[in-house]
Structure 1
Amino acid sequence: MKADASAVRDHRPIYIQVAESLRARILSGYYEDRLDGELKLVEEWEVSRRTIQQAIDILVREGLLRRHQGTGTFINKSGVARHYRAITSITDGVRAQGLAADYRILASAPEPASPAARAFFALAEGASVYRHTRLVLADRKPVAVADTLLNLERLRGLELSHLAQGLYEALRQGFGRTIVHAEDRYRPAIADAQTARLLELGEPAAIYIAERRAFDQSGAPIELSTISLVPVALEISISQVGADWPGAAQPAGEPWNYRVGFGNFAS
């Protein structure tokens, strides 16, 4: 099989490997409106037409593609948007509450990578990362300080000092990088003096710290963020589906589903 590097990572069936590569292309904006024809994909991957059809079937079921009889297979933009929203930002949380989201850039420039950043991004000693720090506002009230390090090895020429759109949107449009996997960790903390001043809190002030490690559609590490949030109520819900003891029928869907959200930013 002739395939992208992202489609040869394991020993799964070939149609699943092809589906993985096509999914990455779709999420990165590689296809504007419609998928390449099946015969072109057969030639590119050097596989059977049935293999291509099986791969497309997976993406149709996921909602990323739509088939139109006689005209081809098209990108389902609403389905793609749902995948984008699956990885949410603090700005998404503000807007979801019906509040006006805005931010003020505090720092935005390359800098030498720290040992922790070099380890996460797999950078050589002496490499640089891009630091983008902003104050997030909800209806003009400060609610978070977001300090983000970005992988310059994957984002050559990145410049965000005059960013006028969402960060994830800028990465998709400017670099074809879509954040599709994020690992978040939340913990309570006491704000330092600068953070307390930016969030208009007294001292000492209790806040939440959210730490994010995020990866793009190829599995490359892209973002390392620390977000300091005003002390809103933290909401966590966990749903459990079925069990996996021997002989038990496997339930449909994922066995675990976690959701973390924040209380009313307007309060």
Structure 2
Amino acid sequence: MSSLFKKGPLPRYYQLKEIMREKIEAGEWKPGDLIPSERELCEQYGISRMTARQAITELVNEGLFFREQGRGTFVSHQKITQQLIRLTSFTEDIKARGQQPGTRVLLAQMCTPDEAAITRLRIKANQPVFHLRRLRLANDEPLALESSHLSFMGCERLLEEDLGQSLYALLEKKYGLPLVEAEQELEAGIATTEEAQYLKIPIGSPVLYIRRTTYTERNIPVEFASSVYCGHKYTFYVNLKRDQLLSNP
């Protein structure tokens, strides 16, 4: 489909969506490319501004496009996929996709835990925890804003560490804390002003909120992390199997 049919069963915005989708699939529009403006699409296809905007917005919501305030709409890069059946670190996920992980440390300090950390880490209200806040990158592009609270004997020594590296690898190799399992929650949301600023996305863009409690041996919680991921750059994968129904005797 390279032109719109003005008389037909398919709405014009849907036809335009499929035309733009085909351009991506054919490689005519590549990841990172700036797509034509609404005005240019209107002139090219003889449609209204509202029709063009609806087609673009739906492809943004599907993750094929992303907007940058003041710059325009771009073709999204391939999403990072994280499977949900194995406990992996951010660094491991990004490397598995053939990309270069990066980290900007925003905060590293000992602090008094908030209610969520007290509950998840099973600690007393006055027990200091190590608080680490980082911006996580993939090929130098912001992907996630991560806040971790850690509690274990000697956690204050993390203040002296290079926290730009994989935290999980550091805990396992240097601190002798085998990370064996985790509980993870996912929730859809929209980016706040601060989150949008760090992730370089428009305020109100779709994001994924992830909360994870990671345990060492004997079901002892060691980390409670809250992360915000760019919705158009990250997806989660899980393979589901249905229990076999018992045959009636």
Same fold (TM over 0.5): yes
Match of 1:123 in 2: 123
Match of 1:229 in 2: 229
Q: 1:178 to 1:110 in 2, by over 3 A?
A: same
Taking the TM superposition and a 5 Å limit, the aligned residue runs for 1:56-75 are: none
Pairwise CA distance, 1:174: 2.2
Pairwise CA distance, 1:195: 0.9
- Structure 1: gaps spanning 5 or more residues: 1-84, 249-267
CA deviation digits over 1:173-194, x for unaligned, max 9? 2221011101111111111111
For residues 224 and 154 of structure 1, the distance between their equivalents in structure 2, rounded to whole angstroms, comes to: 17
Match of 1:138 in 2: 138
Match of 1:239 in 2: 240
Q: 1:135 to 1:244 in 2, by over 3 A?
A: same
Pairwise CA distance, 1:233: 5.3
For residues 169 and 210 of structure 1, the distance between their equivalents in structure 2, rounded to whole angstroms, comes to: 20
Match of 1:95 in 2: 95
CA deviation digits over 1:194-240, x for unaligned, max 9? 11000001122211111101101232101111111111353433332
Q: 1:160 to 1:98 in 2, by over 3 A?
A: farther
Pairwise CA distance, 1:92: 2.0
For residue 113 of structure 1, give the secondary structure of its aligned residue in structure 2: coil
The residue type equivalent to 2:111 in the other structure is E
Match of 1:166 in 2: 166
How many pairs align? 164
Pairwise CA distance, 1:154: 6.6
Match of 1:114 in 2: 114
Residues 1:206 and 2:206 aligned together:
yes
RMSD: 2.4
Larger Rg: 2
For residues 87 and 120 of structure 1, the distance between their equivalents in structure 2, rounded to whole angstroms, comes to: 18
Q: 1:158 to 1:152 in 2, by over 3 A?
A: farther
- Structure 2: gaps spanning 5 or more residues: 1-84
Q: 1:160 to 1:201 in 2, by over 3 A?
A: farther
For residue 175 of structure 1, give the secondary structure of its aligned residue in structure 2: coil
Whether the aligned pair in 2 keeps the contact of 1:213 and 1:224 (CA below 8 Å) is: yes
Q: 1:213 to 1:179 in 2, by over 3 A?
A: same
Pairwise CA distance, 1:119: 2.0
Match of 1:216 in 2: 216
Match of 2:76 in 1: none
Taking every aligned residue pair, what percent have the same amino acid on both sides? 21
For residue 157 of structure 2, give the secondary structure of its aligned residue in structure 1: coil
For residue 158 of structure 1, give the secondary structure of its aligned residue in structure 2: helix
Whether the aligned pair in 2 keeps the contact of 1:155 and 1:175 (CA below 8 Å) is: no
For residues 245 and 183 of structure 2, the distance between their equivalents in structure 1, rounded to whole angstroms, comes to: 25
The residue type equivalent to 1:238 in the other structure is N
Q: 1:160 to 1:196 in 2, by over 3 A?
A: farther
Q: 1:242 to 1:111 in 2, by over 3 A?
A: same
Q: 1:242 to 1:213 in 2, by over 3 A?
A: same
